[in-house]
Amino acid sequence: MKIGSFNRRKFLEMAGFLGATASLPNGLAYAVEPHIKDQPYNRLTEEEEIALGRKFSAEYEKKVEILKNPSIDAYLNQVVKKLGDVSQRPKWPYHAKVVNSAVVNASAIPGGFLYLQRGLLEFVEDEDEMVGCLAHEIGHIVARHTTNQLVLMFLARRLFDEVKRNLLLNNDDVARIIEGLGGAVVLLAQMNYSRQNESEADMLGFYEMLRAGWNPNGLLTFFTRLKQTEKGRTSLDIMLSDHPAPADRAEAIRRELASVKVTALLVERTVHFRTMKTTLKNLPPVPKAEKR
């Protein structure tokens, strides 16, 4: 069901959001922010979830090419830390890495780990757009969307107890289980976030940006440009195939912007952002096998 097909209150009720007016540290008032709810079937502790993220990331990085550039990495992780610090799980070790792929997409790993496709960084046109993407992925992590799906998968195959028992141990048992389920890359590709999940991540990201000092309008411009460019852009297929329509998401952000007081100026192209874009242009092209 499209977000734009019913009113905001109805959407919030269906998504399970808790509606409460509150104040931000800088005195700004906001309308309704989703309050995360842990699912009863997800019995992983925070320590175990972070350990799952580390083990999952290690397996993922065996299969993909990580773009290692100190200046880009430092810039992205500075942004990620600011967003994570004002999220509803501020103590998690948020960290971002870039995958050398032309696909316009990003992935949220349990426990605070983010992977951005190079194509996404090349697609965004200003810093607020980029930060909006990062904030959205942190929203997935905060709400435990990826972890919940992995836990359900483990439970369905009667592997949960074995995974939980080995997460904090220095062995390869969890890696073996991940590989037996198809491997980290395949599992990530199979993540099927519901529209509720995506909308919750959007709103969590919206308020993370607001608290961290970025203008959430960046989310609106990003979704608007996705809508304008989705036709004929095969590199957008993965991002658009399992997400609500960009037009619906843009409308939800537009309504939220109208209900809060935003004082942060739009950030277009900071020195760090321009440096990142220039660095990407000067790097060797994405390997042909990765192009779509």
pLDDT digits (tens, 9 = 90+) for 2-49: 333 333 343 333 333 333 333 344 333 345 788 999 999 999 999 999
User: So what's the pLDDT on residue 6?
Assistant: 31
Q: How confident is the model at residue 71 (pLDDT cuts 50, 70, 90)?
A: very high
Q: What is the pLDDT of residues 140-173, one digit of tens each?
A: 999 999 999 999 999 999 999 999 999 999 999 9
Which whole number is the average pLDDT over 82-88? 97
* Domain boundaries, given as residue ranges, for the chain: 3-290
Which whole number is the average pLDDT over 59-69? 96
Please give the span between the terminal C-alpha atoms of the chain, in angstroms, as a whole number. Answer: 29
Two tokens, residue 2: 């499209």
Judge whether 50 and 236 are in contact, CB under 8 Å: no
What is the Cα–Cα distance from 221 to 216, expressed in whole angstroms? 9
Cα separations in angstroms, 188 against 39, 130, 147, 149, 238: 20, 21, 11, 10, 12
Question: Burial of 82 by CB count in 10 Å (0-12 exposed, 13-18 middle, 19+ buried)?
Answer: buried
User: So what's the pLDDT on residue 66?
Assistant: 97
Which whole number is the average pLDDT over 238-266? 70
User: So what's the pLDDT on residue 18?
Assistant: 33
Q: What is the pLDDT of residues 180-192, one digit of tens each?
A: 999 999 999 888 8
What is the Cα–Cα distance from 118 to 100, expressed in whole angstroms? 5
Q: How confident is the model at residue 269 (pLDDT cuts 50, 70, 90)?
A: confident
The answer, yes or no, to whether residue 83 has pLDDT greater than 70, is yes
More confident residue, 132 or 289: 132
Please, what is the average pLDDT of the chain?
83
Two tokens, residue 248: 């619906």
Total-model pTM = 0.83
User: So what's the pLDDT on residue 237?
Assistant: 41
* Lowest mean pLDDT segment, chosen from 85-89, 196-200, 281-285: 196-200
What percent of the chain stands above pLDDT 70? Answer: 80
Question: Burial of 191 by CB count in 10 Å (0-12 exposed, 13-18 middle, 19+ buried)?
Answer: middle
Which whole number is the average pLDDT over 128-138? 94
What is the Cα–Cα distance from 239 to 120, expressed in whole angstroms? 10
